[in-house]
Structure 1
């Protein structure tokens, strides 16, 4: 019997396209139908009519277990529904309809959520996986347009079963309708499954993308800080290293209002597993106007003061946020805060960010839905920042 064993889930949202992926138990064909989403403006039947009108269809007859179909020709910031189909000599399977929304245009607000450690916390988790389930459910309540995972999705990236146990299983209902991006953590082990399951821009361990007024850059800190040298750098954060050159060229090329970076190892955290050698990259971030940096690895929440040139700078500093969300290790915090720490708490959480043309609003929310930290960053037309 042919079964769907992962997904469907969404990847690489743009204004005019979306990638839809899933995995089947045996090699099979792939087909996606995109359905018209018609709003109901009266009565009590719900927000949308039952989708029946097929706008377009994409298929691939080459048998595969991991299915990837990219749908193009869509409208920006628009809701659609989709069905998936797979078939082979053992039978047929289908699933749907599920909603998705294409990326908004520049100038239009949107929201995203951030968490991590769905697998990295597993060795300490006494809740039998309830922490992961709760975090995914809470993020779903906020209906984000996309989500960032800051590494350690699994406990052992080389173990196929881990990807279902810690990520695709607990997050299934959320990932059906919320496209996501991730960076490599140390628990992924740079495993081939990371490259097989995700459709990030090449080379996948580092990449960038635009969404609304935000330019996002994903870095692979596990490449800058090799496991055999950890926590020291491998001497490769300089011109001539492919990832470093990519970072420079990508920041230079972006004209987006907001620039947000995410990578696993934290250069700033008043707790264990701070990787100070990554501060070698901070002058680059400062030179090219980065606004926020998201990290993980230390399984806590921590928000820094705005930092520039190694000191607190409320005029033009960068805020570093450790979002070790799907877990909590209070014993990993230092007895007292470091100079760079604004707020810090070791509880399971996620971060919600609302991005507009001139504001970034950030809220940290625990697994029970309680708000425990927030701040707003405003940037005027001249690039001057205000924090409150």
Structure 2
């Protein structure tokens, strides 16, 4: 246990010697009483070893900081959906506390909104333009910097950024990069993009996911307007070439209060009118039960093999202009959040509406694909594969969702039995 003798309301605790991938229960209190914890609801799970082939679930919310019935409905839909398997990683896409990102707004619209999730799930926030109203970038002070404790020295993997405004971390075989598109210098030779280049060069993970507030493509806020949306414009022109050259798989943004999901793209850095057919590597829907998953031939991070770009800024409100950016495969005005499941060679993503409906889903696969009936991945189809699949299906884990539509049903069982009976190639 750790004891702080000083009278304070803010505590930061460094724990060492913990075992990776292990659940720990905790409590917080004074020398005479327990204030929180010491019960099954207060626990944390340490990250798995970097590079390991664990399955990982990620929850993504954007522009969620309204603290109203909209945000509650999105939260509750996620809790219902993820009840069998809660997220391991929680990302925010900025505008975490409207209207000005003050301390009291964070309390009301973040801490009071998500208490049960905050007890167990690590939150990795990005700065939105509304959060930036109450911070000082030069001194690194203000509610965002005071509330969150983020890796400035590469403590969670990646290259040290020296700031909590932008950072990176590893979780299993995924490298996550968070940028500050709201207040940090976005020039090519500025500190943030200089750090980004170093961080991208250093990572050796299989998957690369970038998240930040201002998306490169959107008609919710008009990404074609350099005058009104310079951050979106500069992200597209300056950041995307760097990310795609590093083999990025998925780019997440908010800002527009809508849901927009791109085709499988590479090399589109200009206005929406400049989108060429050659920049759309796969114009399908990315769904196994539709036109097929988006596929990257290489198993690791190889430049320019394609990525999906998502605007998920509708976790608290719906506003904006008419949708329909030509880079987008799916655009909709629905409240919701994203749930992303990542396996060694497959990424499954859904957009979950506030009513619990799966409004969109897509799949990205990487490298040579294993036979889906070889559940144990030992190269042999036998009773152990059947037993493992039954266990996964009974537990309602994402690994049993063979058709990638976000729902476990008869079709998944049928797909498994068909492939198992026919044998693997």
TM-score category, normalised to shorter length:
0.7 to 0.9
Aligned mates of 2:347, 2:36 — CA distance in 1: 36
2:234 pairs, out of 258, 265, 277, with: 277
Compare the two structures and name the one with the higher strand fraction.
1
Q: Secondary structure at the match of 2:3?
A: strand
Return the TM-score normalized by structure 2: 0.68
Q: Which residue of 1 aligns with 2:119?
A: 176
Gaps of 5+ in 2: 136-141, 153-162, 224-231, 269-278, 283-295, 297-304, 370-403, 405-425
Change (3 A) 1:134 1:71: farther
2:193 pairs, out of 244, 248, 257, with: 244
Post-superposition Cα deviations, 1:295-318, rounded to whole Å, max 9, x if no partner, equal 000011111112211121236222
1:265 pairs, out of 199, 214, 231, with: 214
Aligned mates of 1:138, 1:146 — CA distance in 2: 17
Question: Cα RMSD over matched residues?
Answer: 2.0
Post-superposition Cα deviations, 1:18-50, rounded to whole Å, max 9, x if no partner, equal xxxxxxxxxxxxxxxxxxxxxxxxxxxxxxxxx
1:289 partnered with 2:247: yes
1:112 partnered with 2:58: yes
1:332 partnered with 2:283: no
Question: What displacement does 1:223 show?
Answer: 2.7
Change (3 A) 1:156 1:327: closer
User: Would you say the 8 A contact 2:53–2:344 is kept in 1?
Assistant: yes
Return the TM-score normalized by structure 1: 0.74
1:313 partnered with 2:274: no
Compare the two structures and name the one with the higher helix fraction.
2
Gaps of 5+ in 1: 1-56, 123-127, 225-233, 383-387
1:140 partnered with 2:79: yes
1:206 pairs, out of 138, 163, 166, with: 166
Q: Secondary structure at the match of 1:256?
A: coil
Question: What displacement does 1:178 show?
Answer: 1.0
Q: Which residue of 2 aligns with 1:95?
A: 36
Aligned mates of 2:43, 2:77 — CA distance in 1: 18
Post-superposition Cα deviations, 1:292-342, rounded to whole Å, max 9, x if no partner, equal 11000001111111221112123622211111132342x5142x5122001
Matches within 5 A, 1:208-227: 208-223=168-183
Aligned mates of 1:130, 1:103 — CA distance in 2: 33
1:195 partnered with 2:145: yes
Aligned mates of 2:242, 2:263 — CA distance in 1: 18
Q: Which residue of 1 aligns with 2:262?
A: 304
Q: Which residue of 2 aligns with 1:79?
A: 23
Post-superposition Cα deviations, 1:200-225, rounded to whole Å, max 9, x if no partner, equal 1121100000001100000000135x
Aligned mates of 1:161, 1:94 — CA distance in 2: 21
Matches within 5 A, 1:19-30: none
Q: List structure 1 segments (4+ residues) > 6 angstroms apart after TM superposition.
A: none
Aligned mates of 1:318, 1:158 — CA distance in 2: 31
User: Would you say the 8 A contact 2:78–2:352 is kept in 1?
Assistant: no
Aligned mates of 1:175, 1:113 — CA distance in 2: 12
User: Would you say the 8 A contact 2:101–2:130 is kept in 1?
Assistant: no
Q: Secondary structure at the match of 1:70?
A: coil
